[in-house]
């Protein structure tokens, strides 16, 4: 069940690890719409809920999904261990590093990491 939880005053839509796989732009729009309706400014999605194509940059799924979040002004936090994907792709490692430098999309190891980033006022 999805819930909204506040981290240092920032409402975050929390998605459980069990649930439908996010595999299309429409899936991303559904997450954004639901989060916005509930008053969230960020959406936290477990990495295991993302289709494996998301982590294969040649599919352009990651770029399409991230772009939807940017267009609608909703932060996206991918939560969990993605090392198996980044070990296979230097391009993905670069993508993750660049996302984590910004204020819109973050790849975090856990919710404590997300909370710390939000505490630092990075969004």
Domains and CATH numbers, the chain: 3-119 (3.30.750)
Q: Any idea what DSSP says for residue 50?
A: B
Of the pLDDT bands very low, low, confident and very high (cuts 50, 70, 90), residue 90 is very high
Residues 11-36: tens digit of each pLDDT: 999 999 999 999 999 999 999 999 99
User: Are the C-beta atoms of residues 64 and 32 closer than 8 Å to each other?
Assistant: no
Q: Any idea what DSSP says for residue 22?
A: B
Q: What pLDDT, on the 0 to 100 scale, is given for residue 1? A: 85
Q: What pLDDT, on the 0 to 100 scale, is given for residue 108? A: 98
Give the pTM. Answer: 0.94
């Amino acid at each position: 069940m999805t819930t909204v939880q506040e981290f240092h005053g920032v409402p975050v839509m929390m998605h459980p690890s069990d649930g439908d796989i996010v595999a299309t732009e429409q899936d991303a729009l559904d997450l954004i719409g639901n989060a916005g309706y509930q008053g969230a400014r960020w959406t936290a999605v477990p990495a295991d809920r993302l289709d494996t194509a998301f982590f294969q940059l040649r599919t352009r799924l990651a770029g399409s999904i991230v772009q939807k979040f940017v267009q609608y002004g909703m932060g996206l936090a991918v939560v969990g261990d993605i090392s198996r994907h980044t070990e296979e792709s230097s391009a993905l490692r670069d993508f993750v590093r660049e996302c984590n430098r910004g204020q819109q999309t973050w790849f975090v190891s856990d919710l404590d990491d997300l909370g710390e980033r939000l505490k630092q006022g990075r969004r």
